[in-house]
Structure 1
Amino acid sequence: IVVHLAMLAWMLTLPWPVAVSVLRRISAPVLSIFPLATALVGLLLENEEVRRRAEERLEASEARYRDLVETAQDLIWECDAQGRYTYLNPAWEEVFGYRLDEMLGKPFTAFQRPEQAERDRERFARLLQGETVKGLETVHLAKDGREIHLVVNAKTFHDAQGRPAGTRGTAYDITERKRMEAQLRESEEKFRLAFRYSPDAITISRLEDGMFLEANEGVTRILGYTPEEIVGKTSMELGIWADLEERAEAAERLRREGRVENLEMPLRRKTGEPVIGLLSASVVTLGGEPCVLTVTRDVTEAKRQREELEKVSRSLQDLLENMSDAFVALDRNWRYTYVNKRAGELLGRNPEDLLGKHIWTEFPEGVGQPFQRAYERAMNEGIFIQMAEYYPPYGRWFENRIHPTKEGIAIFFTDITEQKEQEQELRRLNEELELRVAERTAALEAANRELEAFAYSVSHDLRAPLRAIQGFAEIIADRHRDALDEEGRRYFDYIIEASHNMARLIDDLLAYSRLGRSAVERKPVDLGAVLERVLQTLAPRIAAEGAVVRLEGEFPQVLADAGLLERALVNLVDNALTYHEPGVPARVEVFCEPQGDEVRIAVRDHGIGIDPRFHEKIFDMFQRLHQTDAYPGTGIGLALVKKAARLLGGTCGVESEPGKGSTFWITVPRNGGLDG
């Protein structure tokens, strides 16, 4: 048609005669070929339309396929013959966390653990050989390291020459299913272990006839039957129930409600011994058959203890009701949970009427009182408080003992008004007594001073006649001793010895009376230096008797009157040199022991020792435990030590047993450490 039209257009450009001539020459051939050309052109046009429509359908099909693949939740993939990914749909990004460009071009084994990759390489090789894979489970690794469990379906595709070119297929993620399967297995294992090893007796029986189908080892512990002994039998056959009526009621309730809980049932062991079981049961369906799952706990001992506790509770309640103290218990909302009879009497209320009531609503006059503050502190801080206060609203004194409890507080309270009045009267009497004692003490101190003055005066005045007696006795002894017979000489020796003893006694009395007459001056004193002077004073006696006196350790500075302290220590060391076994030289150690703010100076001997009954007595004036002819002395030395210790602000004492020596000690205030 196009050609004809082109020819006609061309002829129209020719001169008319020429155009007519050309038309005459070609008309016959053109007219003869035109139908064939027209048919041929029509056929070509029809084929072109068919091809165009086929292409459109193909494009639509490819678009549908692409949309299905791109939007599919399943994983769609294609690998080359080396196992490298050549195509992955977007679902891979969602499941694995990788971008597609991070996975394409890499072998599938790059996303597996080595041991899994080795297994899947072998499967891939068989797949290339023509084997089809369906439902293969494998494991890949996500970008974050998680294991992704997949089920894979795959087949091989070939190139134009028919050679295996790769594989393609689908996969879907079963990771969640695997996790749930693992949880289910773990749960089943836990149930199996719980069923088997539970201390409770667990059984499964048919609802229809009660035949036991399963039993755990708890049945043996509680009832004495092995699981093998009860499976295939009923509880009625075994005679487990001690009370058939209770059993029938429980069974009826189970059929009606489908479950029973915490029923205390009397049972019998295999031996016939009674046992109390706490039973819970539920109707369950196992294998399409109604069954009963029963759990029984042995509460025999627990019930006995509960009954014992109830008995104790009743006894405690009886005690609380009959005690002389009032008692109330409050919860944390300040409501009464218990009020005993005595509390009701003191509060002027019926105890039952107070239960559940708010304390400050019932007794608003108590708000702001010291008792309220003490109650709140005991409850908030969880501490015990004991207090005694005057309660103005009642005009009486009450003692409260407030104990914190888990539930709130428990309060014991007593009316102590009469006791307080007695205390006030006693306080008044004590004040009068103290005044009288002070007066008597002053009088006694004055008498003591007069006595000391008298002793000083007497001992001083006795010195002159005693010196005369001693002087004349010595003259007679020198000039006229031979004129006396033996008995006279013996009596005369008694006179001389008695005069010497009297002289020592007077000296000791003078020393005792002088002690403290002058002001006691306490100041830092080097104890070591004082002890050195003591040893110098006693050196002649120590040497004469062959005694050994050692100063052990270090001696600190003390706060004392040096002369007074030296006098006391001379007496203690002299005493230690005196009381030793006859014929055995004395051994004495002097040491000190810091005791807080004081220093204890001790003198230890290895002599005859002292009975503990006399430990205090020997520090009194003129107290001696031995005859003068055995151990000389006046009985004043230790009394002087006691007085000196008191004047120095310390104490004295002795530690001794007969035959084990003695340790006399005196304490004085400390001044500094061992380094002075």
Structure 2
Amino acid sequence: MSPPLPPPVVPRLCEGRSNVEAESARASEVRYRRLFEAAQDGILLLNAETGQIDDVNPYLVSMLGYSHEEFLGKRLWEIGAFFDIEQSKALFAELQSQGFVRYENLPLVSKAGTKVEVEFVSNVYECDGVKVIQCNIRNISDRVELQRQAISREHRYRAISATALDAFVTSDSTGRIVGWNPSAERIFGYTETEAIGQPLTLLIPQRFQDQHLDGMQRMRSGIESHMIGKTVELVGLRKNAAEFSLELSMATWIEGDKQYFTGIIRDITHRKSADSLIHHKGLKLKESNAELERFAYVASHDLREPLRMVNSFLTLLERHNPQLDAESKEFLGFAKEGAVRMDHMVLALLEFSRVGRSGTAFAPVDTSTAVAQAVANLGLLIKDTKSDVTVVAPLPVVVGHQDEMMRLFQNLIGNALKYHHPDRSPIIHISCQKHDHDWLFLVQDNGIGLEREYFDRIFVIFQRLHGRREYEGTGIGLAICKKIVNTHGGNIWVESEPGRGSTFFFTIPMSGASPANEASG
């Protein structure tokens, strides 16, 4: 515990006084000592003639890190805190001549070498015929640091504002423009000189000005403070009277007793034009796709009748001409086989055109149920091929069409059964996992696999990698899978290695998707 501080040199109020006066003086000295020791500012007491330090309070000892003894008897310029010797001597000389000095921001250095910013006020007064200098030293380091930070922020803001592609327009609470950056000049056409001091209505078409003034009044009163920080689309007015689409986000702040607003404004004229063009082209594309699908549906439906007729008459021709030789009968067989194959392709095309045209809205679909239905439909084939179909439960509930999800799994499982390896029983493994914002489904098999060059081709309608005598079918199953997945807002792909099987991946959004082709129905 450090020894108690000696009483301050001043005021010496007790000498040469009566008992009453002395008692009063002692009480005054006690009050002074308490104030001196409890003060939250540093206090130095100096001999005005010599400049030597007679006393220092605890706060200054703590602030600068020097002990009480290290201060006493020293002159200001002999204390390391006052590192500028010439300045300290000049300060003392000024005090002696003028009796008062004040420094708003005087840098001192603590014993540990830390810079301390202080406000320094000193005055000279007499006490019992002795001139005393009292220095009051306030630590303003925090305040100075806040000022530096504010200046730095202001510099950063000005640098950002000067180089930003967006307009920065600042107004006071009366709606007068007080800030205007180069991009504001580029977007609106007014120079800074022309814009500063003008009302914000300068930038707003006449028909929207009353609405703007009402909105400003509500924001000033705090009613529409929820608009601060949000982005809205509005219409702006250029200097040449041309209107344009803009995007506005606002910020507000209080400085003193005044409120200010800054609008960050982006010219979205080109974006709106591009959006309109994309929307128009999207509608055209949707109409074109709808026409193509209607054509495919009608064509496939209407083509079946003449095909059935061709097949029937070929059968009658064979039946009523038993005398035909073997070659002629073979030719008739080729024709009938071609008609049947054509009918199957028309049926496949009809099925393909129906994907996404159910006319029903998307709804929650339990994919575990969809897989179970697909496995049940393929039950005989699974039994005949001695296949092992496993499912990692539980599978998720997605948003889509129940029948189409069942058909998707049935086609993928059926594909694995069809192209199984001749030397081993088929093993099919179905699982699902989260992938970003999607569900990622996997259908794995140990079948014959395929080369990388065919990874995209197998999803194209009527594309086959094998002869019909080797593997029957129309080559449309995986094309239907791709269309179903795309309709549900996902993607499908395959990874495979010849002789080692394939894994089909497809994604379905977790949040659900709007039916891509519903409108075309």
- Of 195, 205, 216, 2:46 maps to 205
Distance 1:234 1:545, change over 3 A: same
> Which letter does structure 1 place at the counterpart of 2:74?
K
Partner in structure 2 of residue 448 of structure 1: 296
Distance 1:308 1:375, change over 3 A: same
Equivalent residue of 2:139, what SS?
A: strand
Equivalent residues in 2 for 1:259-270 (5 A)? 260=102, 262-265=104-107, 267=108
Partner in structure 2 of residue 248 of structure 1: 90
Give yes or no for contact 2:42–2:137 (8 Å, CA) kept in 1.
Answer: yes
CA deviation after TM superposition for structure 1 residue 234, in Å: 0.8
- Of 235, 238, 251, 1:403 maps to 251
Provide the alpha-carbon RMSD of the alignment: 6.3
Identity %: 20
Unaligned runs of 5+ in 1: 1-180, 469-478, 480-497, 671-676
2-structure distance, mates of 1:446, 1:358? 58
Q: TM-score, normalised by structure 2?
A: 0.58
Give yes or no for contact 1:611–1:657 (8 Å, CA) kept in 2.
Answer: no
> Which letter does structure 2 place at the counterpart of 1:395?
A
Deviation string 1:642-672 (CA, Å, 9 cap, x unpaired) is 45678xx7467547654796356697999xx
1-structure distance, mates of 2:43, 2:453? 75
Deviation string 1:589-608 (CA, Å, 9 cap, x unpaired) is 568999xxxx9996743436
Equivalent residues in 2 for 1:333-352 (5 A)? 333-340=174-181, 346=188, 351=193
Matched, 1:638 2:482: no
CA deviation after TM superposition for structure 1 residue 409, in Å: 0.5
Give yes or no for contact 1:219–1:227 (8 Å, CA) kept in 2.
Answer: no
- Of 365, 371, 380, 2:212 maps to 371
CA deviation after TM superposition for structure 1 residue 575, in Å: 1.8
- Of 220, 234, 255, 1:388 maps to 234
Distance 1:261 1:374, change over 3 A: same
Partner in structure 2 of residue 543 of structure 1: 383
2-structure distance, mates of 1:306, 1:274? 19
Q: Which has the higher helix share?
A: 1
Give yes or no for contact 1:282–1:294 (8 Å, CA) kept in 2.
Answer: yes
Distance 1:325 1:259, change over 3 A: same
Give yes or no for contact 1:386–1:402 (8 Å, CA) kept in 2.
Answer: no
1-structure distance, mates of 2:396, 2:117? 78
2-structure distance, mates of 1:526, 1:340? 56
> Which letter does structure 1 place at the counterpart of 2:351?
L
Matched, 1:571 2:407: no
Distance 1:554 1:467, change over 3 A: farther
Give yes or no for contact 2:101–2:121 (8 Å, CA) kept in 1.
Answer: yes
1-structure distance, mates of 2:203, 2:462? 73
> Which letter does structure 2 place at the counterpart of 1:572?
L
> Which range is displaced more, 331-340 or 547-556?
547-556
Unaligned runs of 5+ in 2: 1-26, 317-325, 327-333, 514-521
Partner in structure 2 of residue 232 of structure 1: 73
Give yes or no for contact 1:211–1:235 (8 Å, CA) kept in 2.
Answer: yes
1-structure distance, mates of 2:253, 2:193? 21
Matched, 1:621 2:461: yes
Q: TM-score, normalised by structure 1?
A: 0.47
> Which letter does structure 1 place at the counterpart of 2:102?
V
Q: Which has the higher contact order (CA 8 A, sep 6+)?
A: 2
Give yes or no for contact 2:408–2:484 (8 Å, CA) kept in 1.
Answer: yes
Equivalent residues in 2 for 1:157-236 (5 A)? 192=37, 202-215=43-56, 225-236=66-77
Distance 1:543 1:393, change over 3 A: closer
Equivalent residue of 1:262, what SS?
A: strand
> Which letter does structure 2 place at the counterpart of 1:233?
K
Distance 1:216 1:502, change over 3 A: farther
1-structure distance, mates of 2:135, 2:157? 42
Equivalent residue of 2:475, what SS?
A: coil
Partner in structure 1 of residue 329 of structure 2: none
> Which letter does structure 2 place at the counterpart of 1:228?
E
2-structure distance, mates of 1:366, 1:243? 70
Give yes or no for contact 2:367–2:395 (8 Å, CA) kept in 1.
Answer: no
Give yes or no for contact 2:252–2:261 (8 Å, CA) kept in 1.
Answer: yes
> Which letter does structure 2 place at the counterpart of 1:410?
T
Partner in structure 2 of residue 330 of structure 1: 171
Give yes or no for contact 2:491–2:508 (8 Å, CA) kept in 1.
Answer: no
